Amino acid sequence: MVTATLQDGQSGLPSPRSTKSFWHRDPSYVLLGRRSTPDLPATADVIVIGSGMTGAFAARELVAGGRSVLMLEAREACWGATGRNGGHCQPMIYGRKPHIARFELATYRFLEDIVTKFNVPCDWKRVGGVHALPTDELVDLVAKRIENINKHHPDLVGKAELFTKPEDLATLRVPNARGAVLQPYAAKCWPYKLIAWILEALFTQQSTEVFNLQTTTPVTHVQKAEGLDSWVVHTPRGQVVAKEVLLATNAYTSHLLTKMTGLIVPVRGQVSALEPPDGDVPLEHSHVWLAQDSDNYLIQRDDPLEMIIVGGERLSVPDGGEGIWKDDEIDEEVAVRLRRSLRPALKLRPEGEKEEEELRARYQWTGIMGYSADGSPFVGEVPEELGGGAGLWVCAGYTGHGMPVAARCAVAVSQMILGRQGEVGSVEVPGEFVLTVDRAERARGRELARSVIDEFRMEMRELVESEL
């Protein structure tokens, strides 16, 4: 068993049998069980490990840049966090430093432009996002933050608006909140189908010499080739040699890079697909709200059942899912809390009608997120001090916020591999995202935030104070 040799806090390999995600109920039969060639090739220009949002967009950029790519996936394509998330994409405008907010907004627009240009069948729809604020203290802090944005950052004006009047909160369907922020740039989508479209295009439009996808091929070890400027990637099906290797492995990164144990922590999240109550009025927006110590989030789909996809409640259980790298079971307590989470937070039925205590779940599943020790993704070449060296790259650690970040992080790291960083039109990640030894040393040993409300309060205070 792999668990016998793991260090404390190190991730294992993805579970061979996982809980069934709502998004996987209609899989791509082009990709399911797909191996471009019966056997692994002996070599490739770049090996991309992982086939979620990061892996797919990295492969797309690398192939466009003239490199051959071998993609190795432990399970089926897009069977990890991207295929298990809450189905929404929303940049955090008022809760991030301005340059990071701009990066997230640009990533959102990048995805929306692709979906629109190519008519990608992934149910993408811009709906706007409502963030309910539970306390007057948070309302005051957010008001100051948005005031600072409007004063100092004109390009972000109108991207986040605060509402406090009871009639406005009722219209936004959060009558019990003390305030609410509406961010117009927020979309709901079918994330698995978005990535499946990217991978299908690569698979069908490129020869196997240019793009080779190998599913159910877990990588067990990556090592520097002795005497060669290359890396050897080990799998149960054999070895492959490449000059460049990209770990698009998010929560599972520490399994291959043991020195990043504690820097990217596997954390289990849970999501449910709930049936709306009889007589409900469909929600216009996506929603995020703080419930006790957990942040919850949902979208309501435009399908015949108008399914509500809701996630969160992680911190309602003692371990908070931290250190768990298996997604083969659900936490029953979290499942109950998710089914009961909407009644105190949202008005689903018309005014005056009683809300249901608990909604029925059609699907309940878990997914493993990669939480960064300092809250920012790790993007770049892996230093030798962390078990890397020239040609070994990582792009991971999105802390549950990958949809508005990962795609352009993947483009950026691919451009680094191609030697195009700094060119006109290239993607530059925020400095906080770049992997360095100094950053790793500063981040190591930090505890992950346990109280979402306390973390949010602290972030708001720091942002407000930084612009006074």
Domain annotation covers residue 114: no
Task: Examine the domain organization and report whether 289 and 368 are in the same domain.
Answer: yes
Residues 270 and 348 occupy one common structural domain: yes
Q: Nearest CA to 235 among 222, 225, 252?
A: 222
- Confidence class for position 3, pLDDT limits 50, 70, 90: very low
pLDDT at 454 exceeding the cut of 80: no
Edge-first strand order for the sheet with 361-372 is 161-163, 179-183, 129-133, 286-291, 294-300, 308-311, 264-274, 361-372
* Residue 140 falls inside a structural domain: yes
The verdict on 140 and 278 lying in the same domain is yes
> Is residue 93 assigned to a domain?
no
The CA distances from residue 6 to 9, 12, 234, 257, 261, in Å, are: 8, 7, 17, 12, 10
pLDDT computed for residue 458 by the predictor: 77
Q: How many of the other CB atoms lie within 10 Å of CB of 210? A: 17
Structure tokens at 429: 């990640």
Q: Distance (Å, rounded) from C-alpha 76 to C-alpha 405?
A: 23
Model confidence band, residue 75 (pLDDT cutoffs 50, 70, 90): very high
Among 328, 352, 372, give the residue marking a domain's end: 372
pLDDT at 451: 57
Contact 412, 428 (CB under 8 A): yes
Q: Is residue 97 part of a domain?
A: no
Q: How far apart are CA 257 and CA 81, in angstroms?
A: 19
pLDDT in tens, 111-166: 999 999 999 999 999 999 999 999 999 999 999 999 999 999 999 999 999 999 99
Are residues 196 and 180 part of one domain? no
Mean pLDDT (the chain) is: 94
In angstroms, rounded to a whole number, what is the distance separating the alpha carbons of residues 437 and 443?
10
Let me know whether 279 and 160 are in one domain: yes
Residue 397's identity, in one-letter code, is G
DSSP bridge partners of 181: 131, 162
Give residue 44's pLDDT. Answer: 97
| Shared domain check, 336 and 428 | no
* Predicted local confidence at residue 466, as pLDDT: 76
Given this model, what pLDDT does residue 244 score?
Answer: 98
Domain count of the fold of the chain: 2
% residues pLDDT > 90 (the chain): 88
The pLDDT confidence band at residue 60, using thresholds 50, 70 and 90, is very high
Question: What DSSP line would sit under 178-236, residue for residue?
Answer: SEEEEES--EE--HHHHHHHHHHHHHHHS-TTTEEEE-S----EEEEPTTSSSEEEEET
Structural domain contains residue 118: no
Over its C-alpha atoms, the chain yields an Rg (Å, rounded) of 22
Residue 90 domain flag: no
Convert the pLDDT of each residue in 320-367 to its tens digit: 999 999 999 999 999 999 999 999 999 999 988 999 999 999 999 999
User: CB burial class (10 A; 0-12, 13-18, 19+) of residue 42?
Assistant: exposed
Beta-carbon contacts of 119 under 8 Å, excluding residues fewer than 6 positions away, are: none
- CA–CA gap between residue 26 and residue 301 (Å, rounded): 15
End-to-end CA distance of the chain: 55
Residues 77-94: tens digit of each pLDDT = 999 999 999 999 999 999
Asked if residue 361 and residue 389 are part of one domain, the reply reads no
Last residue of one domain, picked from the residues 339, 355, 372? 372
Among 64-73, 219-228, 432-441, 442-451, the range scoring the smallest mean pLDDT is 442-451
Q: Is 181 in the same domain as 274?
A: yes
CATH number for position 436: 3.50.50.60
Over residues 378-406, mean pLDDT: 97
- Of the pLDDT bands very low, low, confident and very high (cuts 50, 70, 90), residue 312 is very high
**Phi, psi values for residue 264, rounded to 5°:** -120, 115
Nearest-angstrom CA–CA distance, 49 and 4: 23
Domain of 159, in residue numbers: 128-189+266-372
pLDDT in tens, 256-295: 999 999 999 999 999 999 999 999 999 999 999 987 778 8
Domain of 300, CATH number, reads 3.30.9.10
Asked if residue 213 and residue 337 are part of one domain, the reply reads: no
Given 372, 388, 412, the domain boundary residue is 372
pLDDT reported for residue 468 = 62
- Has residue 97 got a pLDDT over 60? yes
Which range (39-43, 83-87, 232-236, 419-423) has the least confidence?
Answer: 419-423
Q: Assess if residue 92 is contained within a domain.
A: no
2 pLDDT band, cuts 50/70/90, is: very low
Of the CA atoms within 13 Å of residue 64, those in its CB half-sphere come to: 12
Estimate the crossing angle of helix 98-118 against helix 406-417, to 10 degrees: 90
Q: State residue 187 phi and psi, 5-degree precision.
A: -130, 155
Is 448 among the domain residues?
Answer: yes
Same domain, 256 and 198: yes
Around Cβ 282, how many Cβ atoms within 10 Å?
11
Tell me which residue of 195, 192, 191, 203 sits closest to 63, measured CA to CA.
Answer: 203
Instruction: Pick the range with the lowest mean pLDDT from 62-66, 208-212, 222-226.
Output: 222-226
Distance CA 429, CA 421 (A): 10
Q: What is the pLDDT of residue 4?
A: 46
* CB neighbour list of residue 42: distance below 8 Å, 6 or more residues apart: 240, 241
452 — pLDDT class (breaks 50, 70, 90): low
Question: What pLDDT, in 10s, does the model give residues 237-262?
Answer: 999 999 999 999 999 999 999 999 99
